[in-house]
Amino acid sequence: MTDNFTELAFTESVKAQQEKYGTRTAYSRMERGGAFRNQITWQEQKHIQDRDGFYLSSVGENGWPYMQFRGGPKGFLKVIGDNTLAFADFRGNGQYISTGNFDDNNRTMLFLMDYPNKKRLKIWAEAEVLDPAEHPELAEKMIMPDYEATVERIIVFKVHAFDWNCPQHITPRYTQEEIKDSQQALTARIAELEAENKNLRDQVQTAQE
């Protein structure tokens, strides 16, 4: 794994733009000071395991980039080793654009959003596409027993770097599950207050009698 994501992201043309817009000095100090972590910790692992989807990039042999959304049950993208992620790739529309692109260029970017908490994690990685039948032990780890979908392949990511983005401009969004959980807490609180209110009315009525 590289020392930090800047070694991959900050090309000469990127540095030129930072210089143009006045941010190069600050980022240069951060590069020299090793301010960016490069080992997956409990914080990154928790963020990854809590996601029910992420955005995945690839580049075709014609040089055009491609981006798609990969979804599944919460936790379907798994941390399986030091700086190694994997997920069961379920059968989709049969275009196989990412799969084909990885045959020519296995470099990729994963973008993991936590909309309610306004957090985003960017991961630079190399992808490897595996046949589940040829890797039964790994396939066993990828199984999501309560999710009815056909697993066609396993995609493994060797993480090279990552970066937490700032929360600015992220609009909070909530899944049905998150809204349901919030409503349950609110409903419980309302029931608690109603019971307390009834108890107070009963006490007042008893005192008046």
Based on the fold, state whether residues 32 and 50 are members of the same structural domain.
no
The residue type at 163: D
CATH number for position 84? 2.30.110.10
Query: What residue numbers bound the domain in which 2 lies?
Result: 1-36
Phi, psi at 198, each rounded to 5°: -65, -40
| 34: confidence class by pLDDT, cuts 50, 70, 90 | low
**Spatial CB neighbours of 69, under 8 Å, sequence gap ≥ 6:** 53, 54, 55, 56
Kindly state the DSSP code that residue 49 receives in the 8-state scheme: H
Based on the fold, state whether residues 183 and 98 are members of the same structural domain.
no
Based on the fold, state whether residues 136 and 202 are members of the same structural domain.
no
pLDDT digits (tens, 9 = 90+) for 35-85: 667 788 999 999 999 999 999 999 999 999 999 999 988 999 999 998 999
Based on the fold, state whether residues 13 and 76 are members of the same structural domain.
no
Residue among 48, 52, 55, 58 at smallest CA distance from 97: 58
Angstrom distances, CA of residue 81 to CA of 20, 138, 153, 159: 40, 12, 19, 10
Helix spans in the chain (H)? 6-9, 12-21, 24-33, 42-49, 97-104, 136-142, 176-208
Based on the fold, state whether residues 73 and 155 are members of the same structural domain.
yes
CB of 102 closer than 8 Å to CB of 129: yes
pTM recorded for the entire structure: 0.81
Based on the fold, state whether residues 84 and 164 are members of the same structural domain.
yes
pLDDT of 66 reads: 97
Helix spans in 62-208 (H)? 97-104, 136-142, 176-208
Q: Give the number of domains in the chain.
A: 3
| 30: confidence class by pLDDT, cuts 50, 70, 90 | confident
Mean pLDDT throughout 186-193? 86
Based on the fold, state whether residues 108 and 183 are members of the same structural domain.
no
Based on the fold, state whether residues 46 and 68 are members of the same structural domain.
yes
Based on the fold, state whether residues 92 and 179 are members of the same structural domain.
no
Based on the fold, state whether residues 23 and 109 are members of the same structural domain.
no
Based on the fold, state whether residues 167 and 90 are members of the same structural domain.
yes
Based on the fold, state whether residues 67 and 144 are members of the same structural domain.
yes
